[in-house]
Amino acid sequence: MSFDLILFGGTGDLVWRKIMPALFQAFRHGSLPAGGRIVGVARDDLSDDQYRALIKSRFDNVELAKRPSEEEFSRFAALLGYLRMDLSNPADYAGLAARLQQRPADVVVMYVATAPSLFTTVCEQIAAAGLNGPQTRVVLEKPLGHDLASNRAINKTVRSVLSEQQIFRIDHYLGKPSVQNLFALRFGNSLFEPLWRRETIANIQITIAEDLGVEKRGAFYDSTGALRDMVQNHALQLLCAIGMEPPINSHADAIRDEKLKVLRSLKPWTPETLGQHVVRGQYAAGNIDGEPVPGYRDEKGVPPDSRTETFVALRTEIANWRWAGVPFYIRTGKRLAGRDAHIEVNFRPAPHAIFKASTSGSNVANRLVINLQPKDGLELHLLAQGADQRRGTSSLAPVQLDLDFDKRFGSERVGAYERLLLDVIDGRLNLFVRSDEQEEAWRWVEPILDSWSNDSGAPRPYAAGSWGPSAASAMIARDGYCWSEEC
C-alpha cells in the first residue's frame, strides 16, 4: 500500500522530537508500508537535501537506541522530501496538490503539527485544493481548542470538509504500550473485572508527574496551563480507560461510546466542590537532582505576574452503578519530585481481620499499580505470612508481584507515536478521540477554568522538586486517604 505523509510544521519541535523518530523506528522494524513518501511542510526555504540534513542533525538529540546508523538513515532519507509553504496562502496548497499528483498514493495522511489557530485554515485550504478525497486522513494534534467554544468551532469546520472517519484526533497517551495493557488487563482477562467496582475498590489515583519545567515553551505554556495541557486530554482519557464498561467488541465506535458514557457520568462541579476538590499550584524556585532551578515566573517567556497553573490536583466521582461513591483523584504537574506516571487502584481492606496487626503492614489494603512511565508494567501489592510465623504468630507482611513489560517484551515494544502513525496509515480509529468525547471533556473542565478566571488569587506556590502544594495532600486526606509517596 503506497502512502503520502504530509507533515505540516515539518521543521517544528514535535516533528523532530517525536514523529520522525517514530517513523524511523517503524521503518527499522519493517512495519512502515513500502512505497511511502514523507514530506515536511514549513515556511523555511529548504531543498529536499537540506531538509534531510536537518532531520539527520536532529537525530543526534534523540535517545541512543533510536538513532539510525549512517546506512540506516541513508535508506530512510530516501523517503523524505520537503515543500516550502505559507499555510495561510491558498496558492501554496495548489503546489502541494501538484506534488502529490506526480505519484498518486493509496492513502494521503495530512499531519497538522502546527499551532491550533491554524487547524481550521489548513483543513479549509486542503478542501479548497481538492485534497480532501476519501483517501485523505487528517491528524490533529492537541490542544484542539482553548475552551469548549473554540473546540466546537474547530470540529464544526473540520467536519464540514471531512467525514468523521477521516479525522484522527491524536492523544499519544492512548498509544502507550502500558495503556494498551490496561485495556488488555481489563477486557482480555477475567481475573479483575468482577472486582472492578465500588464494592471492592476504595479509591483510584491517577498521577502524571514531570520533573522538567516549561523548557523553551514558556510563552506557549503560559497560555495553556496544566489543566488544558494534561487533564482535559491525557488524564481524562486514562480515567475513561479505568472507568468504562466493557465494550461489545474492539471496534473504534464501540470503545469510544463507552468512554463517552464515563465523561457524561462525571459529577458536575458546584461552587462548593470547586473550592474543596480542585487545587491549582505554580512551582517556585527549588532543587532538582541537587541542582537549583528557577521558579515558573522566572522562566523565559513567562510574565512575572503569571497566574497560570503548573500543577492541578482534583477529586471527582463517576455517578453510575459501578462506581457510585468511589473517589477518583487526578494530579499532574511540572517540576515535581520525579518523572512518574501511574494509576493506583486501592482495594478495600478485608471485611473482618483474623490476623494480628503488626508493624509489618498487616493493616495495609491491596493495591494494583499500573505504571505508565518511566517504568512500564504492573505491580500487585498483597499481604502474606512474614518471618513472624516462626514464632507461631499470625501477622502479615506486604509483598508484591512486579511485572516489567520492557523486560518481558524487550525489543518487541512499539512506541506510542509509532503505533498511532501506523494506525492512521491503516485507517484504524480505535486509539483516537471522537469529537463528542472531546467536547464532553471540555464541558466538564470549563467550570474549573471559569472559576479560576473569576478568582483574583494566585495559584498556590510549591517548591520545585516537591510533590506539589500541601493543599493537594489535605484534599485527599479529608477522605481518609493519601498519595502513594505519603502512605
CA atoms of 90 and 124, how far apart (whole Å): 10
Report which of 267, 317, 314 is spatially closest to residue 444, judged by C-alpha positions. 267
8 Å CB contact between 205 and 344? yes
**Residue 31 CB coordination number (10 Å):** 14
| 3-state SS assignment for residue 192 | coil
CA 51 distance to own-chain centroid: 29
DSSP lists the bridge partners of residue 169 as 140, 433
DSSP lists the bridge partners of residue 288 as 291
C-alpha cell at 448: 474549573
Report which of 258, 246, 239 is spatially closest to residue 184, judged by C-alpha positions. 246
Report which of 91, 97, 115 is spatially closest to residue 9, judged by C-alpha positions. 115
Per residue, the 3-state secondary structure of 231-247, as one string, reads HHHHHHHHHHHHHCCCC
Tell me: cis bond preceding 374? Omega within 30 of 0 counts: yes
8 Å CB contact between 129 and 119? no
Catalytic positions: 234
Q: Indicate the residue type of 252.
A: A
Residue spans of beta strands (DSSP E) within 156-300: 167-169, 201-209, 278-284, 286-288, 291-293
C-alpha cell at 61: 538529540
CA atoms of 67 and 317, how far apart (whole Å): 44
| 3-state SS assignment for residue 299 | coil
